Amino acid sequence: MTSPDGENMYFGGDYNPEQWPEDVWLEDVRLMREAKVNLATVGVFSWGRLEPAEGMHDFGWLDRVMDLLHDNDIQVNLATPTASPPPWFGLAHPDAMPVRADGTRLTHGSRDTYCVNVPAYRAASRRIATALAERYGAHPATVMWHVHNEYGTTCYCDHCAAAFRDWLRDRHKSLDALNDAWSTAFWSQHYSAWEQIMPPRVTQYRSNPAHLLDYRRFCSDALLAHYREQRDILRAHGPQPVTTNYVMAGWTPLDHWKWSAEVDLVGIDHYTDQPGDDGLAQVALASDLARSWARGKPWLLMEQGVAAMYTPERTLALEPGEHVRRSLDYVARGAAGVLHFQWRASQGGAEQWCQGMVPHAGPDSRVFREITELGRTLSSLAPAEPEAAEVAILWDDEAAWALQNPALPTAGLDFRASVEQAHRVLWQRGIATDFVHPSHDISRYRAVLMPSLYLISDEAVANLTAYVEGGGTLVVSYFSGIADPDTRVRLGGYPGALRDLLGVRVEELHPLTAPVTLSDGTIGTFWSETVHLTGATATATYPGGGPAITRHQAGAGTAWYISTRLDASGLGDVLAQAGV
């Protein structure tokens, strides 16, 4: 992938010309040039215009858009429109509409009304992707392919049930293995035939956590199969890089490590919802995640809000200059460019109140002037080479999903929040940080943080052990290393997977109802544990004298354990002690 002139940043956003009469297009390209926009994401929601009836294509308008953009030196990130099937699709294929866990069949009338496991939808997706690839694969404006949009839907239909069973056969090989992995002896859930296995639909009482977890894995893989199918079609018609845009929400519908191995560049949609430093911390976290997932490939900010933050309650404006500053922060952390949703604010439709680079008020506006300023600034910058990180935080979507099991010792356990806190403490101390999968090579980092990573494989444990014994510093926080990949508790004392490495054995887990003050003055909240030392030294103890924070020399390295929730300052102190 090369940016437009081979060395500058990508700059632009989603461009939906089909919402506007053609005379507006002329103003669009004039304003894009004024703002130094060099990349437009086109066609994300254009299925209805491109294929007005099943199998009938109308590319005339898009031909004109592509040519117009090309004539104005604006390159195109061309989207396949499969995230929003037109109404005719739902009518022709009612079984392709998604079904909720309670059996409710959804209807078209929004976006994302499809199930990726339905053959008719897959065929329709291939057909429109092929048609676009054939027509625009060689168009000089096409510099990138954008498959679909914000993958992340979940469905519980019968097609999903069948696909889930195939996926389970592949993962567990035999029903016996599945029954064992899922602990189906409890509550008489033994499966005696594959056909008995359903998606985790609504049931009378609590669901089986292994069942829930495998369904999360399956959903990510099923979406990925849909992506790969289109990617392969597009690759067959041109040399452009192919990608999609991850939603950077707490919800994590995708296994990002797996996905990132399949995209040519990592693309993220990132909407902050906090002002000031809190927002900058969000920018740093999203950028560090994207760069880490990319593992050396480029990454791109494919959508951000236009000088605005969308909170659940209201849309807040960024301060003057803040949008430029944040955008440059993404770039400093390695983004190949910054794009927005969307170029021109819509007059109608469900997102008419999302901000546009050209707002409702038109180009005579602070917003457009800031966009122009940003475009000019970026046009003078070369891509940044981010500082090499010496510290890493473990990231694993599977562990995050496992911790969303509703029946844990306490509500409020949240992998994402633990990661955010750890990342922020490092960010505030100016420490460049990567994210790594627990099984990846981590030997080059002087320290690795493991924040509430509930689930871990034996392979990852071996990796971490080798790392510490080789001289690394590992800082583990509470409720890590508890479960195996099938979310079964590792027995004999917590954290089953890490007892030897940490030199501790935890006998009991005690969610807290009130804060406790540790021996070193630090405050612990939310959680505590009964920790026995089996080699480690306590660096801070609970009021009763039991170890709260421990340090263990293991080989040439050190493994720390924090058995309670610390605030940022407390965590910072431990990291300082650990030499991080």
State yes or no: is 150 an active-site residue.
Answer: yes
Phi, psi (rounded to 5 degrees) for 29? -70, -30
Q: Which of 176, 195, 232, 387 binds a copy of itself (CB under 8 A)?
A: 195
In the numeric block, the tokens 């409890």 are attached to 186
303 is catalytic: yes
Task: Please tell me which residue in 51, 150, 370, 420 is annotated as part of the active site.
Answer: 150
Cis peptide before 342 (omega within 30 of 0): yes
Instruction: Report the 10 Å Cβ neighbour count for 297.
Output: 17
- Selected from 23, 60, 110, 521, the binder of a copy of itself by CB under 8 A is 110
> Which residues ranging from 247 to 306 are in contact with a copy of itself (CB under 8 A)?
none
C-beta of 297 vs 488, nearer to a copy of itself:
488
Residue 21 CB, nearest approach to a copy of itself (Å): 10
Identified binder of a copy of itself from the candidate list 123, 162, 202, 568, rule CB under 8 A:
202
**Whole-angstrom distance, CA of residue 330 vs CA of residue 571:** 26
Site for a copy of itself contains 384 (CB under 8 A) = no
Q: What is the DSSP string of 443-490?
A: TT-SEEEE-S--B--HHHHHHHHHHHHTT-EEEEESS-S-B-TT-PBP
Looking at 1, 68, 198, 384, which residue binds a copy of itself (CB under 8 A)?
Answer: 198
Using CB under 8 A, which of 123, 185, 236, 556 touches a copy of itself? 185
Query: Would you give the end-to-end CA distance of the chain in angstroms?
Result: 36
| Annotated active-site residue in 303, 370, 398, 529 | 303
Strand locations in 43-182 (E): 75-79, 142-146
**Near a copy of itself by CB under 8 A: residue from 69, 210, 389, 502:** 210
Q: Find out whether 37 and 13 touch, Cβ atoms under 8 Å.
A: yes
Among 8, 142, 208, 244, binds a copy of itself (CB under 8 A): 208
Q: Nearer Cβ to a copy of itself, position 249 or 261? A: 249
- Angstrom distance (rounded) from CA 543 to CA 517: 7
Smallest gap from Cβ 577 to a copy of itself, in A, equals 28
Token pair in block for residue 187 = 């509550």
Site for a copy of itself in 19-78 (CB under 8 A): 19, 45-49, 52-53
- Cα–Cα dist 438/445, whole Å: 13
Residues from 408 through 437 that contact a copy of itself (CB under 8 A): 408-412
Please give the Cα distance from 293 to 392 (Å, whole number).
12
Q: Kindly identify the residues of this chain, within the stretch 341-380, that bind a copy of itself according to CB under 8 A.
A: 345-353, 359-362, 365-367
- φ/ψ of 300, rounded to 5, equals -140, 135
β-bridge mates for residue 513, sequence order: none
Does 200 bind a copy of itself (CB under 8 A)? Our answer is yes
Judged by CB under 8 A, the stretch of 189-197, 284-292, 472-480, 535-543 that binds a copy of itself is 189-197
**Residue 332 is encoded by which pair of tokens?**
């400093």
Which of 38, 113, 117, 260 binds a copy of itself (CB under 8 A)? It is 113
- Closer of 362 and 543 to a copy of itself (Cβ): 362
Kindly state whether residue 81 participates in binding a copy of itself, applying the rule CB under 8 A: yes
Binding-site size, a copy of itself (CB under 8 A): 105
Quick one: 50 or 133, whose CB is closer to a copy of itself?
A: 50
C-beta separation of 366 from 320 below 8 A: yes
DSSP-derived secondary structure letter, 104: P
Rg (CA), the chain: 25
Pick between residue 202 and residue 261 the one whose CB is nearest to a copy of itself: 202
How far apart, in whole angstroms, are the C-alpha atoms of residue 88 and residue 108?
Answer: 9
- Residue 358, classed as helix, strand or coil, is strand
Q: Please report whether residue 211 would count as binding a copy of itself according to CB under 8 A.
A: yes
Of the ranges 207-215, 385-393, 467-475, 566-574, which one interacts with a copy of itself (CB under 8 A)?
207-215
Q: How far is the CB of 537 from a copy of itself (least distance, A)?
A: 21
CB atoms within 10 A of CB 87: 12
Q: Which one among 87, 140, 321, 470 touches a copy of itself, defined by CB under 8 A?
A: 87
Contact 368, 1 (CB under 8 A): no
The tokens of 7 are what? 């060395």
Residue 106 in the binding site for a copy of itself (CB under 8 A): yes
Nearer to a copy of itself by Cβ, of 110 and 380: the residue is 110
Measured from the CB of residue 114, what is the shortest distance to a copy of itself in angstroms? 9
Residue 307 phi/psi, 5-degree rounding, is 60, 25
Residues 431-490 that bind a copy of itself (CB under 8 A): 486-489
Please say which residue, 177 or 202, places its beta carbon nearer to a copy of itself: 202
Active site residues: 150, 303
